[in-house]
């Protein structure tokens, strides 16, 4: 098995295959240090953690992650809490930075004898429509190498090479630009909250996400086509203070050194099917989703689990049922997550069209005021 990409998807797949005794090689463009320090996601679903735990891959996570079962919506300076854990079987999120997940997965894979080639360049896929595909790449010292394999897993993210190796017309691509943009900020600041905050403000959405005891992530809705250069640190903090403010409260936002600022492309993209010939796409290589519902890494882990189960079944018995249904099984969850993400995007952003804006407000009022709507939110947010 050749796996392209050592992100959460590729490394989880590698570990599960290794545990099943299926030989695999992981090819990664970055260095080990790069992937182990690349901050992105931080909110993990209950079932994703359970899956990692069943495979002995969540020991540190279970010791160190904070568990969260409530979030807060702030509207016009007023806070509304949604206790989603109590609405969905006591299930909670685990807050654990993505780079720590990656660190744990690399360690487990390498310590178990796994083969990861870091710093590879110019990965190319060959004969993916045949049962004997291969991968070639250039090593850090310039040598061209080749791996013959039975299957290739494309886990190299949205901008990787694997999806682009599929001939035009063989897969359908669904793309949606949400018409909004977020400035994503990571700061060395302890969280100013115990719950994720989604704040709706006339000047746009602001979010306070949790990462660790010393680092927090924040989001600011910014005009489409805005650039990071327009956002000095002072302007970022001023805007966060304003949009996150609470009326009649002594709550305050703790500032810290900003260590990352980037504009997020708020786009959704799904390919169907998620496989072609001997190539199976997983994670961001097959689908991206806005960070609004914190689903991207969780979907990547689910794909890895489904693919590992299918490959293990095939390896042991020759039964390819799991491989044939791989795409369908994954896409069911992907589209459900996309629908939920879209539902949330609509609710927490004020549309420039006044009618749509009022609909979004009505959705939020329904969520805050109705058990049924809060139940829908809880099930989709922490689960399913």
Ligand X SMILES: Cc1cc2nc3c(=O)[nH]c(=O)nc-3n(C[C@H](O)[C@H](O)[C@H](O)COP(=O)(O)OP(=O)(O)OC[C@H]3O[C@@H](n4cnc5c(N)ncnc54)[C@H](O)[C@@H]3O)c2cc1C
Catalytic residues: 68, 198, 291, 295, 381
Residue 8: exposed, middle, or buried by beta-carbon count in 10 A (0-12, 13-18, 19+)? Answer: buried
Q: Which of residues 118-177 bind ligand X (CB under 6 A)?
A: 120, 123, 155-157, 160-161
CB of 16 to ligand X, least distance (A): 14
Taking CB under 6 A as the binding criterion, the range among 8-16, 66-74, 84-92, 169-177 that sits at the site for ligand X is 8-16
Q: Which is nearer to ligand X, 85 or 248 (CB)?
A: 85
Residues 249-278 close enough to bind ligand X by CB under 6 A: 264
Neighbours of 163 (CB within 10 A): 22
Does the protein bind ligand X through residue 9 (CB under 6 A)? yes
The neighbour count for residue 252, using CB atoms within 10 Å, is 11
The SS3 call for residue 97 is: coil
Please say which residue, 28 or 239, places its beta carbon nearer to ligand X. 28
Q: According to CB under 6 A, which one of 3, 16, 24, 41 is a site residue for ligand X?
A: 41
Smallest gap from Cβ 258 to ligand X, in A, equals 14
Residue 16 near ligand X by CB under 6 A: no
User: In the bound complex, what is the minimum distance in angstroms from residue 226's beta carbon to ligand X?
Assistant: 16
Q: Smallest gap, in angstroms, from Cβ of residue 235 to ligand X?
A: 19
Torsion sign over Cα 297, 298, 301, 307: negative
> CA 15 to CA 143: how far, in whole Å?
27
Residue span binding ligand X (CB under 6 A) among the ranges 36-44, 192-200, 231-239, 248-256: 36-44
Largest CA distance in the chain: 67
DSSP line for 277-328? TTEEE-GGGTEE--GGGS-HHHHHHHHHHHHHHHHHHHHHH---HHHHHHHH
| Cβ–Cβ under 8 Å, residues 151 and 133 | yes
> With binding defined as CB under 6 A, does residue 3 bind ligand X?
no
Residues contributing to the site for ligand X (CB under 6 A):
4-10, 27-30, 35, 40-43, 98, 120, 123, 155-157, 160-161, 184, 264, 283-284, 291, 294-298, 300
């Amino acid at each position: 098995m050749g796996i392209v990409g050592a992100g959460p998807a590729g490394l989880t797949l590698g570990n599960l295959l290794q545990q099943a005794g299926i030989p695999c090689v992981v090819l990664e463009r970055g260095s080990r240090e790069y992937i182990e320090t690349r901050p992105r996601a931080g909110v993990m679903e209950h079932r994703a953690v359970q899956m990692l735990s069943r495979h002995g891959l969540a020991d540190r996570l279970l010791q160190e992650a904070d568990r969260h079962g409530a979030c807060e919506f702030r509207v016009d300076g007023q806070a509304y809490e949604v206790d989603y854990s109590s609405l969905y079987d006591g299930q909670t999120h685990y807050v654990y930075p993505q780079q720590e997940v990656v660190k744990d997965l690399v360690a487990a894979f390498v310590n178990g004898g796994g083969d990861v080639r870091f710093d590879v360049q110019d990965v190319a896929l060959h004969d993916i429509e045949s049962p004997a595909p291969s991968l070639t790449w250039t090593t850090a010292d310039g040598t061209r190498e080749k791996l013959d394999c039975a299957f290739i897993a494309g886990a190299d993210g949205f901008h990787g090479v694997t999806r682009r190796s599929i001939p035009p017309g063989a897969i359908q691509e669904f793309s949606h630009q949400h018409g909004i943009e977020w400035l994503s900020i990571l700061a060395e600041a302890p969280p100013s909250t115990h719950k994720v905050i989604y704040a709706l403000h006339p000047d746009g959405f602001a979010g306070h996400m949790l990462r660790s005891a010393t680092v927090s992530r924040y989001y600011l809705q910014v005009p489409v086509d805005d650039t990071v250069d327009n956002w000095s640190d002072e302007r970022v903090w001023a805007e966060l203070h304003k949009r996150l403010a609470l009326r009649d409260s002594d709550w305050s936002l703790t500032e810290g050194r900003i260590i990352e600022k980037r504009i997020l492309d708020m786009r959704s993209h799904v390919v169907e099917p998620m496989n072609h010939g001997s190539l199976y796409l997983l994670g961001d290589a097959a689908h991206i989703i806005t960070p609004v519902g914190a689903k991207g890494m969780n979907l990547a882990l689910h794909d890895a689990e489904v693919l590992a189960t299918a490959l293990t079944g095939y390896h042991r018995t020759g039964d390819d049922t799991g491989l044939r249904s791989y795409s369908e099984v994954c896409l069911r969850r992907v589209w459900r997550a996309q629908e939920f993400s879209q539902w949330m995007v609509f609710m927490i952003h004020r549309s420039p069209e006044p009618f749509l804006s009022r609909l979004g407000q009505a959705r939020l009022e329904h969520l805050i005021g109705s058990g049924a709507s809060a139940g829908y939110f809880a099930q989709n947010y922490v689960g399913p």
